[in-house]
Structure 1
Amino acid sequence: MEAVGSAASIIAVIDLSTKVAALCFQYYSAVKNARSDVERLQGELERLKTTLQGAQRLLESPNGKRLQTSQRLSDGLNGCFSQLSQLRSRLEKKLNPGPACKAMRKFGLRALKWPFESKEIDSIINNLERYRDTLSAGLAVDGTTQLLHVGQTLVLSKLPTASNAAFDSHADEHDARCYPGTRTDLLERITKWAGNPHGEIIFWLNGMAGTGKSTISRTVAQSFADRGLLGASFFFKRGERDRGNAALLFTTIAAQLVAKEPDLAPHVRAAIEDDPSVTSKTLREQFEKLILKPLGNLKGGTDDVKEVVLVIDALDECERDDDIRAIIYLLSQAKAPSSMSLKAFLTSRPELPVRLGFGDIKGKYRDLVLHEIPKPIIEHDIAAFLDFELARIRNDHNSLSPADRQLPPDWPGCDITQALVEMAVPLFIFAATVCRFIRDPAWRDPGGQLAKVLKYQSRTQQSEIDKLDATYRPVLDQLLPDSKAAKRSIVNEFRTVVGPIVLLAEPISIRSLARLLGIAENVVFRRLEPLRSVLNVPASPESPVRILHLSFRDFLVDPEKADELEKYPFWVDEGETHKRLAARCLELLSTEDRLKKDVCGLRLPGTCRSEIDQKTIDTSLPPDVQYACRYWVYHWKESKCLIRDGDLVEHFLNRHLLHWLEVLGLLGWISESISMVDDLLGLLDREGSDKVSAFLSDTRRVIRSHCSVLDIWPLQVYYSAIVFAPTQSVVRKTFEDQFPAWLALPPKLNLDWDACIQTLEGHRRSVYSVAFSHDSKTLASASDDNTVKVWDAATGTCTATLKGHSSSVASVAFSHDSKTLASASDDNTVKVWDAATGTCTATLEGHSRFVNSVAFSHDSKTLASAVGR
């Protein structure tokens, strides 16, 4: 039985129990004095068979292979099989008697005798009950497992996640890990921190660009994953939408935690069902409801707490400074009484927002500065890496080259390796880039490539900028020919192709890039081919091209290089490149049939976005068109070019505004359109922009009035959005010719917009107080439903619901620095909240009656509260 799978074993035991039951029936009709024992045994056999058949159905279900508990019930099945085999043997022996018994039967004498005493039957039944209980327990566990799997799948489908954010994502699978024998002391320190249940919640590894933070993060994440400690990982990356901001950070982490720990699924599911919009709420609400509270609900004693570590890399590449501080603060609050203890390993450059964030949580983190590690240790690690990589380059080259072109066995030699080490310290990115440069198959000349690098040996100083010069200039300078005309052509082509790549809002494929830039694919490939040491150049034109390290972008756009073009001919003018990208986006979208009414051919204006298949959208809107719709405003803003009447922006909006809003609605970006219009309004030229100013201002009113409708039904932009706009609306007048043909009698409307910009809905009872933050970005409302809601003043979106008061909230106020929010309640308390995170930082008690007013001093240091009579 041991060698047989559980499913086959169950079938064998069912078959054997059926045979034993048939034998018992023969005895029942022939042995009257033992019928009670036979009936009891038959009853247990029937119950056992029912249990076994249930196990068989479960294992044969679609999820049967996932039910690992039943696969391990061999002991119970073996026990049943052994007991039943013994029963069968003794019963058959009596039914097949010897010659003497047969002779007695011949004369009609009763020869058949029940072979068991009642006590034996009691023991047999007890054994079978015990085995049946074991099987039943396994079935119960597996039934729960099956339910958990269904719940897990459902939860994962409702959590939006950032693609390629995990350390082991396909997009980054070839990114480096620490070479064996390097970073040993550092990795040991991190391991000890993770294993210390009484240690700090956060380990912050910081270092300047190129010191190897991400390589260490991937190594640490892999190590934790191998040991079952990794809960989730998130690698920020500037220039990639999902990874360049914190919008999907905690939902991605929650999804990974649920995938790792199925027991979390029902708790996360409950949080989503209780608040379906939680995935788009503030970071605080997402963290508390999707991560912290579900972890706290896990059952388990204090003696079996499981350590789980989050790995978050390149936090400094998160776009919003306030988000960075909020993430650090929230992670520091991760201690919760549960069977799972959460810790966080973070890496970043020592940028100001990150330093301020850690300043807020003094005593709750451990830090280590990479570039302050003793130089001999860094030298050893870089030397070990270079020894290994250069030996591999030598061996690969010699295996493919004729004898007269092979490298010497000791190439490049100890002295040259040491020279490279001295050039690199403390930048691991130098060592990695140099090795990719030397190996470059486009040249097939490791010796010659190495010589190009060594030319920069004397120029390498101790500053980070000089080190980056030595890292990237050999890669770029090799592109330059001797001819001035050819040099000018290559530099221009580089700026046309590579300049946009390093400034794109998110990576796009080579094919989409070629279409966006209006150049041939082969031109893009030709310019990217010799840059594989600094760019991830895919073989397929449908795959995105990415920069390998953010420091390459920093090197190219460094404004200090603008005055040294002889030395830095490949310098990229950031403003001009953004301007060119913005113009190309609008030109692409203005091409005939790129944008048009009902671009996906939906026909019915009441079609919900949720009902539209993504393939339909992608077929009608290729990636380059989607990119242009999403980011033309971003590039225009980054170019800092002013907008005037009659320019490209006004021409595009007058022709394609409704088409553009339809596409944003289809892509789920309509809420972002408000901030886009605000950005455009901020770029208006003070002189000569009256028309476009009026148009944009009116566009903002149209979007704010119908934002929620367009988010659900994108085609309503051609119907309710303009039909119900005031008769003097600029947008309505511009697109009156697009009114639906069946609208014979337009509705009676106001002449112009009224004073109400937008109606904010969400409170369940009366609102008693409203306050604006002093930076005018946020609105807070206090309600009789015992909550305070925080709203984005630009979009009208509820960003947080602050809960904690046990009675009506009568008053709310912002501090003058807009960092703190206070609320006064009928529960006789005042609560103080962090405006960025929505966390209650203090509950002020002392009043004996309802508190109905609260206010801050002008220096934001003092708070006053008052009660009514």
Structure 2
Amino acid sequence: VDWTKRCLDGTRTEILTDIVNWIYDTDENVPRILWLHGQAGRGKSAIAHTIGLWFKNVGGIGSCFCFARDRQAEHLEEQLIRTVSWDLAEHDPAFRRALADAVAKDDVLKTTSDIVLQWKRLISEPLHQISGHTVGNVLVVVDALDEIGTEPSRRHLLSVLASAQTAELPCNVRILVTSRTLPDIEHALNAAQHVRSTSLDDVSTGLSERDVRLFIMKKMGHLRGIGSAEVHGISQKAEGLFEWARLACEFVNASAVKNGAVKECVDKVMHIRSGGGLLDAMYQVILEDSIPKDGAMLTRFRSVMQQVMSAHEPLHLNTLNKMRSHFPNNEDHYDVIAVLQSMTPLFGGITDRSSPVRPLHASFYDFLMDRSRSGVYFIDTSDGKSMAFATLQILRDDLRFNICGLESSYLANAEVPDLSKRIKENIPHHLSYSSRFWTQHLEKTAFDLALGVLVKAIVGGEKILFWLEILSLLGMVGKGVDALGAVVTWLQVNGFKDILGLVVDGIKLIQNFGSVMVHSTPHLYASALPFIPSNALLSIMLLPKFPRLARVAVGGLKGWPVEQHVLHGHTSFVNSVAFSPDGKRIVSGSWDETVRVWDVEGGVQIGSPLEGHTSYVNSVAFSPDGKKIVSGSRDKTVRFWDVEGVAFFPDGKAIVSGSWDKTMRFWDAEGGVQIGSPLGGHTDGVLSVAFSPDGKRIVSGSRDKTVRIWDAEGGVQIHSSLRGHTDAANSVAFSPDGKRVVSGSWDNTIRVW
């Protein structure tokens, strides 16, 4: 909670009182969620912080979590539930014990990014366990939900908030959510009976103007030339937008300090046209006063804004300057404060160098990134060339062997007593940032020969190991595979393939020895590098540079292992597996009558087995949105599992199932009723089915050892049966382009058709 963002005393009293009454309402049927929404600038965050501070001061058990547009790269949506559970545990011993028990029983809860699972096991179940043992109410504040990012990144969290599980939370639990009124948020929350919707756009004009007038008087009433008439005029001009009023006050105050031109500034504010785009008009006034619409200053403004806005996390002035000194063009090597010093109404972190530079309101970024609104001040963030150059040059110049001076490989990273201090002293923020985000900037950059040479300097030599050191020290080894995967794509697309093999070897190094690097940074050299296959490019290139390392004399790897994870858990044959649409989870069905969900990256089971079938589970599939699993079993049932032969139609509205009765059947995914007649043709049980990507064809595999393709609309077989397997074809799928079929069989072969 940020006390600087709270409401001014005496303002928003009606809405604050209403929220407090909702929190203390003793009716068991009171909505568990209050969704406070409205257009940008209405003061939603101020209300959220005020309520959070008040609840903290009265000794309530609660948590406040704020999303921010400039922190989207951190995937805060995956951190929300862990943070809330930690806060609640810190304030309530009973919740702390319940949470500790949950984590002790399931290690997956320590690492999983599955929001649905987190909510169930870390919030809902512990709250139910302590229901009746907690004194007072529990309040969770979630501010700026709309700033998570794209709709897909909000989808899982919205599904949790709108779920029956949340509706059934203990009656002393309240969740205050604030956001702009975006369509996906409105659709999800307005449809839920346990969500109360309150719009700040509906607050009466009189109340809004009264509160804005109090705010303006507090912020500007001390200035010479500001009387009741000026305050009244500006408050009317604000039209209830607190952010507009704040900008106007900051603008006038800054001018008063700089040149005493209070009246001129007030006149500029008063001449802003009322109506739509009021915030945009204020942004224009402030920028025009600071940045002329032509000349070198405008060019510098665009360059600095592009740097600030394209960064994947807010950066301090010192870091911005350090990175700018590595930009490819020498004319860009200037102090960013020269551009930003006049923008204190728009940015934080300018006068205080210990804070990162970030916009004081997310709508300013929206304004700058829309050419039709910002005109000459438009900022194009699609080109990452300058930041890609800067991050790569920093890595080339600053990466070094044993960067934190670890004396021994006998200690795990967690056992090094002063590791945090060493990291702070030896990995400055510009190096840390470059290590974590260089590939994201590279992805946004068209091919450039000089940039390719820099990439080669990192991944084509021992620097790649020094980079992995930093990932190990920062606890981010798992991100290395995705990072190098992006480099592979960039190299392939841009025709710089002579180092491609080294990058691929780097990916395999992380996949095979990542757990070693996570445990201990020195073991990157002691226990990973010596065991790389001797014929791997990485081994041929790097081992000569480390002559004192141990060598594998006999029995070394002749090639990289094909398998990445062996998933243990089922107690009998595994009949069917499928990836989730985002590729992050696997679902499996087994003869042990269970369905299990697995984390792809970690290779561990997520949650408990899904139990309910009374015979073998023959086929499993995810729905297209990844929210549900459907399974088919020899017990003659098809079951749905809310996790977020059986296959969904690509639009998620229909299912096709295969059965031991030799038929396939269509089902309505929502109503669960059969559609049309069964499809017959196989001479033995149908073990697996899948739709083509366009939904026009179905492939089936059967105990009759054949694979067959069907017309989904007409329900007739297309082409002859595909023969070749010598035992049951128990798993089938289409390739992503729909041109091939792959089948797996009990004959221990996989065939492509």
- TM-score, length-normalised on structure 1? 0.67
* 2:341 partner SS: helix
Following the alignment from structure 1 to structure 2, what is the Cα–Cα distance between the partners of residues 243 and 822? Answer: 32
Matched, 1:608 2:416: no
Assess if the C-alpha contact under 8 Å between 1:234 and 1:311 holds in 2: yes
Q: Give the one of 321, 340, 343 matched to 1:531.
A: 343
Structure-1 residue corresponding to 2:23: 194
Pair 1:288-2:120 in alignment: yes
Aligned to 2:431: 625
Which residue among 290, 304, 308 is the counterpart of 1:479?
Answer: 290
Q: What is the aligned partner in structure 2 of residue 421 from structure 1?
A: 235
Which residues of structure 2 form unaligned runs of 5+? 327-331, 645-658, 679-684, 688-702, 704-753
SS of the residue 1:263 aligns to: helix
Asked if 1 retains the 8 angstrom alpha-carbon contact of 2:64 and 2:141, the reply is: yes
Out of 257, 272, 296, the position equivalent to 2:103 is: 272
Structure 1 CA distance for aligned equivalents of residues 283 and 563 of structure 2: 52
- Pairwise mapping of residues 59-74 of structure 1 onto structure 2 (< 5 A)? none
| CA distances 1:407-452 after superposition (whole Å, capped 9, x unpaired) | 24xx2442x3344234322422111111122222783456x25523
Letter in 1 for 2:128: G
1:494 aligns with 2:263: no
Corresponding residue for residue 462 of structure 1: 275
Q: Does residue 255 in structure 1 map to residue 69 in structure 2?
A: no
Contact 1:817 1:860 in 2 (8 A): no
1:557 equivalent among 369, 373, 376:
369
Give the conservation status (yes or no) of the 8 Å contact 1:766–1:783. Answer: yes
What is aligned with 2:736? none
- Partner deviation per Cα, 1:690-721 (whole Å, 9 max, x = no partner): 33444433332222222222222233333544
Q: CA deviation at 1:478?
A: 2.0
2:481 to 674, 683, 708: 674
Paired AA for residue 402 in structure 2: D
**Aligned equivalent of 2:446, options 641, 665, 676:** 641
Give the Å deviation of 1:746. Answer: 4.4
1:363 matched to 2:193? The reply is yes
CA pair 441-417 structure 1, distance change in 2 beyond 3 A: closer
- Tell me how far apart the structure 1 counterparts of residues 435 and 256 of structure 2 sit (CA, whole Å): 36
Deviation per CA, 1:594-653, whole angstroms, max 9, x where unpaired? 21222112243454221232111221211221111111122233x343477944323322
Change (3 A) 1:730 1:467: farther
Q: Call closer, same or farther: CA 1:450–1:629 in 2, change over 3 Å.
A: farther
Q: Which residue is equivalent to 2:246? A: 432
Find the residue that maps to 1:530 and give its secondary structure: coil
Distance 1:496 1:746 in 2: 55
Identity %: 27
* Alpha carbons of structure 1 residues 856 and 682: separation in structure 2 relative to 1, 3 Å: farther
Matched-pair contact (CA < 8 Å) for 1:437–1:533: yes
CA distance in 1, matches of 2:598, 2:535: 29
In the aligned structure 2, how far is the partner of 1:474 from the partner of 1:810?
Answer: 66
Alignment pair present for 1:307 and 2:137: yes
- Structure 1 range deviating more: 466-475 or 758-767: 758-767
**Helix, strand or coil for the counterpart of 1:780?**
strand
Whether 1:203 aligns to 2:34 is yes
Given that 2:662 and 2:686 are in contact with CA atoms closer than 8 Å, whether structure 1 keeps it comes out as yes
Q: Distance in 1 between matches of 2:456 and 2:524?
A: 19
How far apart are 1:797 and its partner, in Å? 4.5
1:183 — aligned with what? Answer: 12
Post-superposition offset of 1:203: 0.9
In structure 2, give the amino acid aligned to 1:430: W
Q: Is the 8 A contact 2:481 2:507 kept in 1?
A: yes
SS of equivalent to 2:353: coil
Q: What is the DSSP-based 3-state SS (H/G/I as helix, E as strand, rest coil) of the residue aligned with 1:347? A: strand
Deviations 1:45-69 (A, max 9, x none): xxxxxxxxxxxxxxxxxxxxxxxxx
- Structure that is richer in helix per residue: 1
1:777-788 correspondence runs (5 A): 777-782=584-589, 788=595
Does residue 373 (structure 1) correspond to residue 215 (structure 2)? The answer is no
- Matched with 2:175 is 344
Flag the structure with larger Rg.
1
TM-score, normalised to structure 2's length?
A: 0.77
**Contact 1:727–1:749 (Cα < 8 Å) also in 2:** yes
Structure ranking higher in strand proportion: 2
- Distance of aligned partners of 1:704 and 1:766 in 2 relative to their CA distance in 1, 3 Å threshold: farther
857 and 718 in structure 1: CA distance in 2 versus 1, 3 angstrom threshold: farther
Query: Deviation at 1:739?
Result: 4.5
Task: Evaluate the alpha carbon distance shift between residue 467 and residue 604 of structure 1 in structure 2; reply closer, same or farther with a 3 A threshold.
Answer: same
- Whether the 8 Å CA contact 1:221–1:230 is kept in 2: the answer is no
Contact 1:324 1:357 in 2 (8 A): no
Q: 1:825 to 1:803 in 2, by over 3 A?
A: farther
Instruction: Report the more deviating stretch, 823-832 or 616-625.
Output: 823-832
Summarize the Cα distance change of 1:854–1:714 in structure 2 as closer, same or farther, 3 Å threshold. farther
Q: 1:297 to 1:351 in 2, by over 3 A?
A: same
Whether the 8 Å contact between 2:77 and 2:153 is mirrored in structure 1 is yes
Partner SS state of residue 4, structure 2: coil
Unaligned stretches of 5+ residues in structure 1 = 1-166, 395-406, 837-849
Aligned pair in 2 of structure 1 residues 574, 774: CA closer, same or farther (>3 Å)? closer
Q: CA 1:766–1:434 in 2, change beyond 3 Å: closer, same or farther?
A: farther
User: What is the match of residue 628 of structure 2?
Assistant: 820
Distance 1:515 1:824, change over 3 A: same
Report if aligned partners of 2:247, 2:282 keep a CA contact under 8 Å in 1.
Answer: yes
Q: Deviations over 1:438-495 (max 9, x none)?
A: 222783456x2552353364453422xx3232222232222246xx9xx633223333
Structure 1 counterpart of 2:318, which letter? R
Count residues with an aligned counterpart. 647
2:356 corresponds in structure 1 to: 544
State the distance in 2 between where 1:636 and 1:357 align. Answer: 36
